[in-house]
Amino acid sequence: MSAGPVLELEGVDSGYGEVQVLEDCTLQLDPGEIVCLIGPNGAGKSTVLKTAFGMLSPWTGSVRYHDREIGGLAPEDIVREGIGFVPQTENVFGSLTIEENLRMGGVARDDDLEPVLERLYDRFPLLDEKRTAKARNLSGGQRQVLALARALVMEPDVLLIDEPSAGLAPNTADDVFADVQEVNAMDTAILMVEQNAKKGLAISDRGYVLDQGTVRFEDEANGLLDNEEVSKLYLGG
Ligand SMILES: Nc1ncnc2c1ncn2[C@@H]1O[C@H](COP(=O)(O)OP(=O)(O)OP(=O)(O)O)[C@@H](O)[C@H]1O
Ligand SMILES: [Mg+2]
Protein backbone atom coordinates (compact mmCIF):
# COMPACT_ATOMS: atom_id res chain seq x y z
CA MET A 1 0.00 0.00 0.00
CA SER A 2 1.26 3.51 -0.80
CA ALA A 3 2.60 5.67 2.01
CA GLY A 4 0.66 8.71 0.79
CA PRO A 5 -2.57 10.03 2.25
CA VAL A 6 -5.43 7.59 2.80
CA LEU A 7 -7.91 10.34 1.98
CA GLU A 8 -7.39 13.60 0.16
CA LEU A 9 -9.65 16.43 -0.97
CA GLU A 10 -7.98 18.74 -3.42
CA GLY A 11 -9.49 21.99 -4.68
CA VAL A 12 -13.01 20.82 -3.97
CA ASP A 13 -16.06 22.97 -4.60
CA SER A 14 -19.31 21.41 -3.42
CA GLY A 15 -22.77 22.31 -2.20
CA TYR A 16 -26.48 21.72 -2.33
CA GLY A 17 -28.37 22.36 -5.56
CA GLU A 18 -27.23 25.78 -6.69
CA VAL A 19 -25.88 26.73 -3.29
CA GLN A 20 -22.11 26.52 -3.07
CA VAL A 21 -20.72 25.66 0.36
CA LEU A 22 -17.14 24.41 -0.13
CA GLU A 23 -14.75 26.57 -2.10
CA ASP A 24 -11.35 25.28 -3.14
CA CYS A 25 -11.24 22.99 -0.13
CA THR A 26 -8.02 21.01 0.26
CA LEU A 27 -7.21 18.66 3.11
CA GLN A 28 -5.65 15.29 3.69
CA LEU A 29 -5.66 12.42 6.12
CA ASP A 30 -2.52 10.32 6.49
CA PRO A 31 -2.41 6.69 7.61
CA GLY A 32 -2.90 6.29 11.36
CA GLU A 33 -3.88 9.90 12.00
CA ILE A 34 -6.74 11.52 13.84
CA VAL A 35 -7.46 14.83 12.11
CA CYS A 36 -9.93 17.27 13.60
CA LEU A 37 -11.98 19.65 11.49
CA ILE A 38 -13.22 22.66 13.42
CA GLY A 39 -14.95 25.92 12.54
CA PRO A 40 -18.09 27.92 13.19
CA ASN A 41 -21.66 26.74 12.63
CA GLY A 42 -22.45 26.59 8.96
CA ALA A 43 -18.76 26.65 7.94
CA GLY A 44 -19.25 23.52 5.84
CA LYS A 45 -17.69 20.89 8.13
CA SER A 46 -20.47 18.35 7.65
CA THR A 47 -20.43 19.18 3.94
CA VAL A 48 -16.77 18.11 3.77
CA LEU A 49 -17.64 14.71 5.24
CA LYS A 50 -20.71 14.34 3.01
CA THR A 51 -18.61 15.12 -0.05
CA ALA A 52 -15.90 12.66 0.99
CA PHE A 53 -18.56 9.99 1.52
CA GLY A 54 -20.34 10.47 -1.81
CA MET A 55 -23.53 11.97 -0.42
CA LEU A 56 -22.59 15.03 -2.47
CA SER A 57 -20.57 15.02 -5.67
CA PRO A 58 -17.71 17.50 -5.89
CA TRP A 59 -18.48 20.21 -8.45
CA THR A 60 -14.79 20.56 -9.19
CA GLY A 61 -11.63 19.17 -7.69
CA SER A 62 -10.70 15.74 -6.57
CA VAL A 63 -11.54 13.31 -3.76
CA ARG A 64 -9.00 10.51 -3.53
CA TYR A 65 -8.89 7.41 -1.39
CA HIS A 66 -5.43 5.78 -1.46
CA ASP A 67 -4.66 7.66 -4.68
CA ARG A 68 -7.86 6.46 -6.35
CA GLU A 69 -10.40 9.05 -7.50
CA ILE A 70 -13.69 8.45 -5.68
CA GLY A 71 -15.39 11.82 -6.30
CA GLY A 72 -18.84 11.10 -7.71
CA LEU A 73 -19.05 7.50 -6.45
CA ALA A 74 -22.19 6.64 -4.45
CA PRO A 75 -21.97 6.07 -0.68
CA GLU A 76 -22.64 2.32 -1.07
CA ASP A 77 -19.58 2.05 -3.33
CA ILE A 78 -17.45 4.22 -1.07
CA VAL A 79 -18.34 2.09 1.93
CA ARG A 80 -17.10 -0.97 0.02
CA GLU A 81 -13.85 0.84 -0.75
CA GLY A 82 -13.14 1.13 2.98
CA ILE A 83 -14.50 4.45 4.23
CA GLY A 84 -17.00 4.54 7.09
CA PHE A 85 -19.21 7.45 8.11
CA VAL A 86 -20.82 8.26 11.44
CA PRO A 87 -23.29 11.09 10.74
CA GLN A 88 -24.02 13.99 13.08
CA THR A 89 -27.65 12.99 13.74
CA GLU A 90 -29.93 10.01 13.26
CA ASN A 91 -26.98 7.69 13.15
CA VAL A 92 -28.80 4.67 14.63
CA PHE A 93 -32.27 3.18 14.11
CA GLY A 94 -34.16 3.65 17.38
CA SER A 95 -36.80 1.02 16.65
CA LEU A 96 -34.18 -1.68 15.96
CA THR A 97 -32.14 -3.59 18.52
CA ILE A 98 -28.41 -3.10 18.93
CA GLU A 99 -27.77 -6.37 17.11
CA GLU A 100 -30.08 -5.34 14.24
CA ASN A 101 -28.35 -1.97 13.98
CA LEU A 102 -24.96 -3.68 13.74
CA ARG A 103 -26.24 -6.10 11.09
CA MET A 104 -27.58 -3.14 9.08
CA GLY A 105 -24.06 -1.74 9.18
CA GLY A 106 -22.88 -4.90 7.45
CA VAL A 107 -25.44 -5.24 4.64
CA ALA A 108 -22.78 -4.40 2.06
CA ARG A 109 -20.63 -7.35 3.22
CA ASP A 110 -21.17 -10.69 1.57
CA ASP A 111 -19.00 -12.72 3.95
CA ASP A 112 -19.91 -14.11 7.37
CA LEU A 113 -20.82 -11.29 9.77
CA GLU A 114 -20.65 -13.36 12.96
CA PRO A 115 -16.89 -13.11 13.65
CA VAL A 116 -16.99 -9.37 12.93
CA LEU A 117 -19.89 -8.86 15.34
CA GLU A 118 -18.18 -10.93 18.04
CA ARG A 119 -15.02 -8.82 17.74
CA LEU A 120 -17.10 -5.66 18.11
CA TYR A 121 -18.95 -7.08 21.13
CA ASP A 122 -15.56 -7.89 22.67
CA ARG A 123 -14.37 -4.37 22.08
CA PHE A 124 -17.58 -2.66 23.26
CA PRO A 125 -18.90 -4.70 26.22
CA LEU A 126 -21.79 -2.32 26.78
CA LEU A 127 -23.19 -3.32 23.39
CA ASP A 128 -22.64 -6.98 24.21
CA GLU A 129 -24.73 -6.65 27.36
CA LYS A 130 -27.57 -5.00 25.49
CA ARG A 131 -27.68 -6.94 22.22
CA THR A 132 -31.47 -7.25 22.26
CA ALA A 133 -32.26 -3.77 23.62
CA LYS A 134 -33.86 -1.25 21.29
CA ALA A 135 -31.45 1.51 20.35
CA ARG A 136 -33.98 4.16 21.41
CA ASN A 137 -33.57 2.98 25.00
CA LEU A 138 -29.84 3.72 25.04
CA SER A 139 -28.35 6.83 26.61
CA GLY A 140 -26.84 9.46 24.32
CA GLY A 141 -23.31 8.21 24.93
CA GLN A 142 -24.29 4.57 24.37
CA ARG A 143 -25.99 5.54 21.13
CA GLN A 144 -22.83 7.25 19.93
CA VAL A 145 -20.84 4.08 20.70
CA LEU A 146 -23.40 2.04 18.77
CA ALA A 147 -23.14 4.43 15.81
CA LEU A 148 -19.36 4.06 15.90
CA ALA A 149 -19.56 0.27 16.10
CA ARG A 150 -22.12 0.20 13.29
CA ALA A 151 -19.67 1.98 10.98
CA LEU A 152 -16.91 -0.45 12.04
CA VAL A 153 -18.82 -3.52 10.85
CA MET A 154 -17.44 -2.80 7.37
CA GLU A 155 -13.91 -2.69 8.88
CA PRO A 156 -13.01 0.62 7.22
CA ASP A 157 -9.45 1.97 7.29
CA VAL A 158 -10.83 5.52 7.12
CA LEU A 159 -13.59 6.70 9.40
CA LEU A 160 -15.42 10.01 9.08
CA ILE A 161 -17.10 11.07 12.32
CA ASP A 162 -19.37 14.09 12.61
CA GLU A 163 -19.50 15.65 16.09
CA PRO A 164 -19.21 12.55 18.29
CA SER A 165 -19.62 14.61 21.47
CA ALA A 166 -22.68 16.62 20.41
CA GLY A 167 -25.26 16.83 23.17
CA LEU A 168 -23.27 14.71 25.62
CA ALA A 169 -22.34 15.59 29.19
CA PRO A 170 -18.59 16.26 29.56
CA ASN A 171 -17.76 12.93 31.21
CA THR A 172 -19.74 11.00 28.62
CA ALA A 173 -18.05 12.96 25.84
CA ASP A 174 -14.66 11.99 27.30
CA ASP A 175 -15.68 8.32 27.18
CA VAL A 176 -16.69 8.65 23.54
CA PHE A 177 -13.41 10.40 22.71
CA ALA A 178 -11.56 7.53 24.42
CA ASP A 179 -13.43 5.08 22.18
CA VAL A 180 -12.51 7.16 19.13
CA GLN A 181 -8.85 6.96 20.17
CA GLU A 182 -9.12 3.23 20.69
CA VAL A 183 -10.63 2.76 17.23
CA ASN A 184 -7.78 4.84 15.80
CA ALA A 185 -5.24 2.68 17.62
CA MET A 186 -6.62 -0.34 15.72
CA ASP A 187 -5.26 1.17 12.48
CA THR A 188 -8.18 3.31 11.40
CA ALA A 189 -7.41 6.84 10.25
CA ILE A 190 -10.07 9.25 11.48
CA LEU A 191 -11.33 12.55 10.12
CA MET A 192 -13.48 13.99 12.86
CA VAL A 193 -15.62 17.12 12.98
CA GLU A 194 -15.92 18.55 16.47
CA GLN A 195 -17.83 21.49 17.89
CA ASN A 196 -15.86 21.03 21.09
CA ALA A 197 -12.69 22.17 19.37
CA LYS A 198 -10.35 22.04 22.36
CA LYS A 199 -11.26 18.49 23.32
CA GLY A 200 -11.33 17.38 19.71
CA LEU A 201 -7.87 18.79 19.03
CA ALA A 202 -6.57 17.32 22.28
CA ILE A 203 -7.00 13.78 20.91
CA SER A 204 -5.94 14.66 17.35
CA ASP A 205 -2.63 14.69 15.52
CA ARG A 206 -3.50 17.57 13.21
CA GLY A 207 -6.36 19.93 12.59
CA TYR A 208 -7.98 22.19 10.02
CA VAL A 209 -10.03 25.31 10.66
CA LEU A 210 -12.77 25.65 8.10
CA ASP A 211 -14.60 28.96 7.69
CA GLN A 212 -17.07 29.80 4.93
CA GLY A 213 -16.22 26.63 3.07
CA THR A 214 -12.47 27.24 2.90
CA VAL A 215 -9.57 26.03 5.02
CA ARG A 216 -8.23 29.06 6.95
CA PHE A 217 -5.67 27.33 9.14
CA GLU A 218 -4.00 23.94 9.21
CA ASP A 219 -1.40 22.72 11.65
CA GLU A 220 -0.48 20.09 14.17
CA ALA A 221 -3.23 19.97 16.79
CA ASN A 222 -0.98 21.58 19.41
CA GLY A 223 -0.04 24.32 16.97
CA LEU A 224 -3.69 25.24 16.50
CA LEU A 225 -4.34 25.14 20.24
CA ASP A 226 -1.36 27.49 20.79
CA ASN A 227 -2.21 29.82 17.89
CA GLU A 228 -3.51 33.12 19.32
CA GLU A 229 -5.57 34.01 16.29
CA VAL A 230 -7.16 30.58 16.09
CA SER A 231 -7.75 30.65 19.80
CA LYS A 232 -9.39 34.07 19.72
CA LEU A 233 -11.51 33.44 16.64
CA TYR A 234 -12.44 29.77 16.93
CA LEU A 235 -11.65 28.35 20.36
CA GLY A 236 -13.50 30.87 22.49
CA GLY A 237 -10.40 32.70 23.77
N1 LIG B 1 -29.32 19.82 2.79
C2 LIG B 1 -28.97 21.10 2.64
N3 LIG B 1 -29.54 21.88 1.69
C4 LIG B 1 -29.18 23.18 1.54
N5 LIG B 1 -28.24 23.79 2.29
C6 LIG B 1 -27.64 23.07 3.25
C7 LIG B 1 -27.97 21.70 3.48
N8 LIG B 1 -27.21 21.24 4.49
C9 LIG B 1 -26.44 22.30 4.87
N10 LIG B 1 -26.70 23.38 4.13
C11 LIG B 1 -26.04 24.70 4.25
O12 LIG B 1 -24.68 24.55 3.96
C13 LIG B 1 -23.88 25.35 4.83
C14 LIG B 1 -22.86 24.49 5.53
O15 LIG B 1 -23.54 23.51 6.30
P16 LIG B 1 -22.79 22.38 7.09
O17 LIG B 1 -23.85 21.51 7.67
O18 LIG B 1 -21.75 21.74 6.27
O19 LIG B 1 -22.07 23.24 8.23
P20 LIG B 1 -21.33 22.74 9.55
O21 LIG B 1 -19.99 23.43 9.56
O22 LIG B 1 -21.36 21.28 9.65
O23 LIG B 1 -22.21 23.44 10.69
P24 LIG B 1 -22.66 22.88 12.15
O25 LIG B 1 -21.54 23.24 13.06
O26 LIG B 1 -23.87 23.68 12.44
O27 LIG B 1 -22.92 21.41 12.07
C28 LIG B 1 -24.85 26.05 5.76
O29 LIG B 1 -25.07 27.33 5.27
C30 LIG B 1 -26.09 25.21 5.67
O31 LIG B 1 -27.24 25.99 5.87
MG1 LIG C 1 -22.23 19.96 10.92
Name the superfamily (CATH) of residues 7-85+155-232: P-loop containing nucleotide triphosphate hydrolases (3.40.50.300)
Ion ligand 2 contact residues with beta carbon within 5 A = 45-46
CA-to-CA distance for 165 and 47, rounded, in angstroms?
Answer: 18
Predicted TM-score (pTM) of this structure: 0.96
With a 6 Å cutoff on the Cβ, whether 41 touches ligand 1 is yes
State if residue 87 touches ligand 1 by the CB under 6 angstroms criterion: no
Residue 237 has pLDDT above 90, yes or no: no
pLDDT per residue over 11-24, tens digit each?
A: 999 999 999 999 99
Percent helix, strand and coil across the chain, each to the nearest 5: 40, 25, 35
Q: E strands, the chain, where?
A: 7-16, 19-29, 34-38, 60-65, 68-69, 83-86, 158-162, 189-193, 206-211, 214-220
pLDDT of residue 2: 55
Find, among 135, 212, 146, 136, the residue nearest to 176 by Cα.
Answer: 146
Distance between CA atoms of residues 203 and 186, nearest Å: 15
Identify which of 13, 14, 18, 19 to mutate to test ligand 1's pocket (most ligand atoms within 8 A of the CB). Answer: 19
Residues 6+ apart with CB under 8 A from 30: 4, 5, 6, 189
- Residue 90 banded pLDDT, cuts 50, 70, 90: confident
Q: Which ligand is in closest contact with the Cα of 55? A: 1
- Considering only CA atoms, which of 159, 144, 138 is closest in space to residue 91? 144
* Nearest atom, ligand 1, residue 44 CA: 18
Average pLDDT over residues 200-210: 98
How far does the centroid of ligand 2 lie from the alpha carbon of residue 67, in Å?
27
Which ligand is closest to the CA of 25, given by its number?
A: 1
Q: What does each C-alpha distance from 138 to 47, 159, 229 come to in angstroms?
A: 28, 23, 40
Whole-number pLDDT of residue 116: 96
How far apart are the C-alpha atoms of 184 and 157, rounded to whole Å?
9
CA distance 77 to 54: 9
Average pLDDT value for the chain: 95
DSSP state letter for 163: -
* Local confidence band at 46 (pLDDT 50, 70, 90 cut-offs): very high
User: Over the stretch 96-129, which tens digit does the pLDDT of each residue have?
Assistant: 999 999 999 998 888 999 999 999 999 999 999 9
Given a contact cutoff of 8 angstroms between Cβ atoms, the answer to whether 93 and 44 are in contact is no
Pocket test for ligand 1, best of 23, 45, 53 (most atoms within 8 A of CB): 45
Per-residue confidence band for 236, with pLDDT thresholds at 50, 70 and 90:
confident
Share of the chain above pLDDT 90, in %: 93
